[in-house]
Structure 1
């Protein structure tokens, strides 16, 4: 089996085309971002940002005066995100190469500050990212530590579809296997455990699960 890091290094230039973004996964991204109370001038953290597929949707809410902090461990995926930002003229995006499961929070904060960002974000989201991390709980902890108290946290991830249509579950499992995600991880449960005012959404026959809540500090 190809290690996840090597897989994303190899497929980074083609990721957007291969990710089933439009027919399947964009729906979860949009629902997650819509669930956040993002405002013009706000700062939002995108954990496991990959090639920046969330950026356009986030910018619609925070505008040109807001800031997006994108964190990913893959230099190759970040290179694609940087090209996208340059092509679109998005100057308010800070990209940081870091592993959310192992990189010290203090070091990430220093990197954010060195590029003009605030230490803690108003909101944070992880879309189809935590299920790739081992242990995903460490990635969640980093996500919380980089978000201000009372700010919002959103997890968008995958599970077995609830639909009984033939082949639906097999296709979902195949997509997760190819991407290196653990379809049984269910990382959104952390939002249910550690946040208040939790909202629940789903899409694509239950395959996509979205949870959003307020950082309670617990």
Structure 2
């Protein structure tokens, strides 16, 4: 995560859910992404840049109490809010790890996950509104790749300028991204399109929210 962005998220962590425009705008993208991922009961899902845990409820409904959710975030304050969310709902299958997604060492993270009762590699990996905050996002995508199993289901949700009839809303979208520290021109889903098989594309809110889901191919 860019330094300025990290400072913002640290300062506003207690108020993030209220300020994030989750219900009117960004929740639609989360729902589309997680509905598109083939999350099965008992799966372990790795949420890279999990923030306050806004994906957790959607993942819990699919993975169930026998599954595991691993949340990784650089901000201790955002993870504290994620822990409060998990405790409030009684989700004892949530593992939270503080790490910078661009510099973490996958072997060390896998060891932390197994020590906490999870599996070294996750069958589902996702990054929602997170990669565009990271510099370089390609390095974070590589770490997500290394922390997931062969044939893993991978998903990326991020932002671009609205298109078509919604194009006049581009200044508002750019302002919202700039306020949160995201690069609206990053288009990090291109990494998934390049590396995954069976890629499926979706969008919401006039093309502002871009959803990509794919399957990690086995090595041959």
TM-score by length of 2: 0.96
Q: What is aligned with 2:78?
A: 77
1:20 and 2:55 are equivalent in the alignment: no
Query: Matches of residues 100-111 of structure 1 in structure 2 within 5 Å?
Result: 100-111=101-112
Could you list the per-position Cα deviations for residues 46-96 of structure 1 after superposition, in whole angstroms to 9, with x for gaps in the alignment? 000000000001001011110000000100000000011111111110000
Q: Distance in 2 between matches of 1:34 and 1:54?
A: 11
Query: Matches of residues 203-218 of structure 1 in structure 2 within 5 Å?
Result: 203-216=204-217
1:5 positional shift: 1.2
The answer as to whether partners of 2:166 and 2:206 remain within 8 angstroms in 1 is: no
Q: Distance in 2 between matches of 1:197 and 1:118?
A: 25
Q: Which runs of 4+ in 1 moved over 4 A?
A: none
Query: Matches of residues 9-158 of structure 1 in structure 2 within 5 Å?
Result: 9-158=10-159
Q: Distance in 1 between matches of 2:40 and 2:61?
A: 9
Q: What is aligned with 1:190?
A: 191
Q: Distance in 2 between matches of 1:132 and 1:107?
A: 23
Q: CA separation of 1:86/1:21 partners in 2, compared to 1, >3 Å: closer, same or farther?
A: same
1:163 positional shift: 3.6
**SS of equivalent residue, structure 2 residue 70:** strand
Q: Distance in 2 between matches of 1:4 and 1:131?
A: 11
Q: Distance in 2 between matches of 1:216 and 1:159?
A: 27
Q: What is aligned with 1:7?
A: 8
**SS of equivalent residue, structure 1 residue 216:** coil
1:216 positional shift: 1.6
TM-score by length of 1: 0.97
**Unaligned stretches of 5+ residues in structure 2:** none
**SS of equivalent residue, structure 1 residue 71:** strand
Q: Distance in 2 between matches of 1:67 and 1:21?
A: 24
| Bigger mean CA deviation after superposition, 163-172 or 151-160 | 163-172
**SS of equivalent residue, structure 2 residue 60:** helix
